[in-house]
Structure 1
Amino acid sequence: DPKTGDTIIIDGGDEPERIIAWVDGFEGAGPNWTTGPQHADEASDLPQRKVVALVNTHAHFDHSGFVPVLRSHYGVDWYLHPDDNFLQSLAQSSGRRYGLNLPEPAVADQAFEAGKTYSFGSIELHVLHTPGHTLGGCCLLIPAVDGPDHVFVGDTLFAGSVGRTDIANSGGDFSVLAHSIHSQLWPLPEDTVVHPGHGPLTTIGHERRTNPFVGDDAGAGGTFGFGKYA
């Protein structure tokens, strides 16, 4: 929140030193939804950022592997849907296959509940349970005071694609994923800004009209079993 400095970190799965430097290193620098962090001299009138929570859309290692480091640094609670706890227990061994030296797996402090709205300082976050990529996958909706709302979708939906459903031990199911997107995301306002876990930003309206896997022209069950990114 650029007015209060309250900050939540979503999916802190990689480069924790870079995340910490970005959050702590530029007094008053706030996020710009489309282009990344502003320079400190452009935001000198904004308050110091203060991390109030760590939250995850799902628990694949590239999204959750370094959250324990961030939790140790900031001393705040970590939120995750309980259906993904088992994936977090596999994060270290999964990351090792890609040459990553992840910390020991940890257990989230708080369990996200589907349909519940959480208040983190001045930030309100609404949890949409969207299984299909993983059993506990969630999309995190942050209503905006001015302008469009923002939804952080992890690997559920991408610009022109969807998340994979064939990753081992994840509970992936394309029909479940398609239903999650149709029932939880498509009803959102068309101008809602979509923040995928990989790739460029998009909007709900654009994806609903054009997404070749779950959009209006893809049919009720979609047309494809896994996505372009992850």
Structure 2
Amino acid sequence: MALHYHLIPVTPFAQNCTVLWCDATREAALVDPGGDTDRLADYLDQQGLTLARILLTHGHIDHAGGAAALASARKVKIEGPQESERFWLDQLPDQGRLFGFPPSAPLTPDRWLAEGDTVGVGAETLSVLHCPGHTPGHVVFHHAPSALLIAGDVLFQGSIGRTDFPMGNHAQLIDAIRRKLFVLPDETTVVPGHGPLTTIGAEKRHNPFVADARYR
């Protein structure tokens, strides 16, 4: 058994929606389906995958804007983020108007997630880490057997998430990256919310915002 992933950039912000699936069951999860829901649905159907759940890292419109429509169409539940993210999910309509996105109603997930929770994708299990700072209820998903981290807007190749939005906190973000992500194996693949893949080891050594000389 194994967990597979495929990235589909969605919305004008080129947000990395991640398709996760278990090869044993062909059950899939979509992480952060922010928009372009027809493309996402077509990919699932073309690959013969059954959508089992939608996972959200946080409540910004480019990550969460398409979640409710897909959940309704495929009759699945939405899991995540952490409950502090209610602040942003309640504002999805305002975010949509501000950034020119299709209308999106306020969203309450079927299950809030917290540090230490797990989520299933077929026969595979991912761990949930609460990593506030970019937003208060941001979570990330870690699959240890695959050395895979779905990082949302916490950590990017050579950068970190913005903290100048309402309820952003730079110190919290740096602390979460160093205490929760940089303890993962160096070979862990990081799927950021935008841009190219990276690894934990590369960011520990070279990311100008959080790199540490001890790792070089």
User: Under a length normalisation based on structure 1, what TM-score does the superposition of the two structures give?
Assistant: 0.80
Name the CA distance, whole Å, in 1 between partners of 2:187 and 2:31.
21
State whether residues 60 and 88 of structure 1, in contact with CA within 8 Å, keep that contact through their aligned partners in structure 2: yes
Conservation of the 8 A alpha-carbon contact between 1:65 and 1:92: no
Q: Does 1:4 align with 2:5?
A: no
In the alignment, structure 1 segments of 5+ residues that lack a partner are 30-47, 219-230
Question: By how many angstroms is 1:101 displaced?
Answer: 1.7
Which whole-Å CA distance do the structure 1 matches of 2:163 and 2:139 have between them? 15
Partners of 2:41 and 2:88 lie apart in 1 by 24
Q: Residue 102 of structure 1: CA displacement? A: 2.3
1:66 offset after TM fit, Å?
1.2
Give the whole-Å Cα distance in 2 for the aligned partners of 1:189 and 1:175.
Answer: 23
For 1:201 and 1:68, locate their aligned partners in 2 and report how far apart those are by CA, in whole Å.
Answer: 27
d(CA) in 1 for partners of 2:204, 2:31: 24
CA offset digits 1:22-81 (Å, max 9, x no partner): 112x1xx3xxxxxxxxxxxxxxxxxx3111111011111110011001111111110111
Give 3-state SS (helix, strand or coil) of 2:151's partner: strand
Deviation at 1:106, TM superposition (A): 2.1
1:118–1:124: 8 Å Cα contact kept in structure 2?
yes
TM-score (norm 2): 0.85
Where in structure 1 do 4 or more consecutive aligned residues deviate above 3 Å? none
State the shift of 1:104 in Å: 1.6
Structure with the higher strand share, 1 or 2: 2
Q: Of the candidates 176, 184, 201, which is equivalent to residue 180 of structure 2?
A: 184
Q: 1:85, 1:65 → 2: CA distance?
A: 14
Report matched runs for 1:1-230 at 5 Å.
1-24=22-45, 26=46, 29=47, 48-80=48-80, 81-144=82-145, 148-167=146-165, 169=166, 171-217=167-213
Structure exhibiting the larger radius of gyration computed from Cα positions: 1
How much does 1:122 deviate? 1.4
Cα distance, 1:152 vs. partner?
Answer: 0.4
Question: Which residue identity lines up with residue 99 of structure 1 in the other structure?
Answer: G
Equivalent pair of 1:61/1:91 in contact (CA under 8 Å): yes
CA distance in 1, matches of 2:168, 2:104: 25
Which 5+ residue runs of structure 2 have no aligned equivalent? 1-21
- TM-superposed CA distance for 1:120, in Å, is 3.5
